Amino acid sequence: MAYRPKRTFRQRRAHSSDSDGAEEPSSEPGAPEEQAAPGLTEEGPPSGGGRVEVTARRVRGRGRGRGRGRVWASSRRVAGAAPRAEGGAGVPESRVVDLSTDEEGEAPHSSESKDDQSSSSNSSSSLEEEFSSIVNIPDAAFIQAARRKRELARAQDDYISLDVKHTSAIPGMKKNSDEDSESEPDDHEKRIPFTPKPQTLKQRMAEETTPRNETSEESQEDENQDIWEQQQMRKAVKITEGPDLDLSYSSEPQTVKKFDTLISLPPVNLEIIKKQLNTRLTLLQDTHRSHLREYEKYIQDVKSSKSTIQNLENSSNQALNFKFYKSMKIYVENLIDCLNEKIISIQEIESSMHALLLKQAMTLMKRRQDELKHESAYLQQLSRRAETSTNESLAVDEKTQWILEEIESRRSRRRQARTLSGNCDHQEGTSSDDELSSADMTDFQKTQGDISQDHKKIFEDVHDDFCDIQHILLKFQQWREKYSDSYYEAFISLCIPKLLNPLIRVQLIDWNPLKFDAIGIKQMPWFTSIEEFMASSMEDSKKEDSADKKILSTVINKTLIPRLTDFVEFIWDPLSTSQTTSLITHCRVILEELSTCANEVSKGKQDLLKSVVVRMKKAIEDDVFIPLYPKWTVENKTSPHSKFQERQFWSGVKLFHNILLWNGLLPDDTLQELGLGKLLNRYLIVALLNAIPGPDVVKKCDQIAAYLPEKWFQNSAMRTSVPQLENFIQFLLQSAHKLSRSEFRDEVKEIIPILVKIKALNQAESFIEEYHLDHLKSVIKEV
């Protein structure tokens, strides 16, 4: 008997007993069909010796896969049949095999047969036709008896035994058969369950306590179960092929013919084994040699890769490069964050300092204009009183009186200071008159000190690497020395001026270019640091047109020139010679030595020069005032009218001088228009024409000619002067004619050199010939 694996009991699909002859559809499309025979059970006395007819029905096997959650199977039982009439040993006894479904999954008992796996659908259909010809269909009484038998077995043992011996009669069977048939519904009336039956609490607990690791064992058991059932079904098919089968059970064990494996195997000897071993050894040796060759190849590849890595590390040093670039990136990001945080404080302190200086400048300018207006009004009242010849006292308000006293006190202090310094050749009116009162000066110094303290606190919590220009430039210098290509490709020369802008502005907060003692631009720390950085760039860089050469000019154009422009527009006083001289000194350094060397005509430079011109025009219009009084009022040099007129004239000459100091920075046409056209011809010559000819007039003319730039008259072939000086030349000639006929004849020889200096040579020669001044011809020849 074939090996029967351990059955696993599962809930199976319920089938009707009347549908035994129907075919079950496969669970999956294309499932293979197999022939299966149910287990056969012999019923009746063992000595009957009769033969039985085997009733078989074709069953389509359900395809099963390994590991499926559910396994579908079917089994058949044999129902007892009534014994045939005794007629002798040669008459066979009819038996009918019931193929109804076993709900508990009991396997049939049959003899072992050979497995035929190559049966096809055509052979199966032919076998079905052959079986149907020899099968006897049982009657209704037989079917009812078999059904009752199954029900009793289920009720008693919960399974149907395969080794049941049917007796000739069952007590009460016939009596109750009619009642059971009437009480039990037919198969077509039964409800077919399409869902699994609900499990009991015991079954659910058993499933939950089953270990998870038994899944593989269950799958293996399911596979063995499927194989066993297929084998049994094929054996049943093989049994039906014989003409007569004796299915009676005997008390003696059934002998099973064993298969002799030695008959099917070919003969084996030592030569064959040796040959196979040698062949196997040869294959292994070939495989080993191929593996050795691959191993050697891999070894060479590893050595080559290591060599390449070493060469790359030695040549480009990528790790160090990455580390350096990463550190520079972090450094620049931190620097930008620091400057963005501090820029607000820088702007606030800059605004505070600018507002303080602007307030001081506006205070001085307003005071000068108020004093000029009150003093002029006072002198007008004196003139009117002198004209009316009244002896009444002049009524002066308290404010005017206080202003006049204040003016006189400051003048007396300046005279004492000049006397102590030994400067006795000073003209009244050329002083700047920018002294502040002690209270105003104290308040100014206190506010300035507070701003300076706040200025020092801006970067007190910052490391030198992020606030010292020299340290910052050193970082970029290292980059340029190590990786010059990436340095220039990143356009660092364009970024440095923007990074340094806040730091330079901090250093310029205390810097006042209008003070004569202000530090020079070239002496500033930021200037020297940038110059050193540019010098090292010229040494290291192989490019003649290195972009680092423009860093200084860019810094000046973007940072320094805008600050100078603010000073010129709002704080600079063109009447102050000290302020003008200091401002021109710084502007000359910036505009001539730096911007012109870089061959740049920047917008900042143009804006600065334009603001200078605008400010000087405003000063000419607002601050120049030379009153004209009757000659009898100015003949007395000690009279208030004469002193006031003299001060205002020399104040105009001072402004004339300050304007012409911009020679070389401003175009000549602009200077001639401002100094000669607007100031000399409109104010100074008018005052000279109203003056009494004499040594004072000659001195004033000589001083005016001394302020004229020499480069305007450097052309040796030039015989005529600048067109704007024509009125001045005519006044000189007129004064010479008057002096030659007066007691100041000797002053004429002072006028001829003035004409020669301003290149009025034709006029000078004509005057010499007219007055026979041959001794002065040598002056013209020297020119």
pLDDT for 261: 52
Residue/partner pairs of 20-25 with CB below 8 Å, 24 or more apart: 20/57, 20/76, 20/98, 20/99, 20/100, 21/57, 21/99, 23/58, 23/59, 23/60, 24/59, 24/60, 24/62, 24/74, 25/60
Q: What pLDDT, on the 0 to 100 scale, is given for residue 398? A: 79
pLDDT value at residue 189: 55
- Asked whether 104 and 159 are in contact (CB, 8 A), the reply is yes
As a whole number of angstroms, the distance between CA 82 and CA 167 comes to 10
- Nearest 5°: phi and psi at 36? -130, 145
The letter for the amino acid at 134 is I
Number of C-alpha atoms within 13 angstroms, CB side, residue 639?
Answer: 16
Residue 171 is predicted with a pLDDT of: 42
Q: Which amino acid is at 725?
A: L
Confidence at residue 43, expressed as pLDDT on a 0 to 100 scale: 39
Enter the pTM of the model.
0.59
pLDDT value, residue 210: 60
* Contacting residues for 107 by C-beta, under 8 A, at least 6 apart: 4, 7, 39, 75, 162, 228, 229, 232
Residue 229: per-residue pLDDT: 85
Residue holding tokens 């069977």?
173
For the chain, the 3-state helix, strand and coil shares in percent, each to the nearest 5, are 65, 0, 35
Do 229 and 73 touch, CB atoms closer than 8 A?
yes
The Cα–Cα gap between 419 and 426 comes to 10
Whole-angstrom distance, CA of residue 2 vs CA of residue 111: 8
Spatial separation of the C-alpha atoms in residues 237 and 57, rounded to whole Å: 10
C-alpha span between 264 and 730 (Å, rounded): 151
In this prediction, residue 462 carries a pLDDT of 92
CA dihedral of residues 757, 761, 764, 770 (deg, nearest 10): 170
Of 697, 688, 684, the closest CA to residue 724 belongs to 684
pLDDT, residue 296, reads 95
Cα 487 → chain centroid: 21
Element (H, E) at 203: helix 201-209
Amino acid code (one letter) for 560: L
Point out the residues of the chain with pLDDT beneath 50: 1-124, 127, 131, 164-182, 243-254, 256, 598
First to last CA, the chain: 151
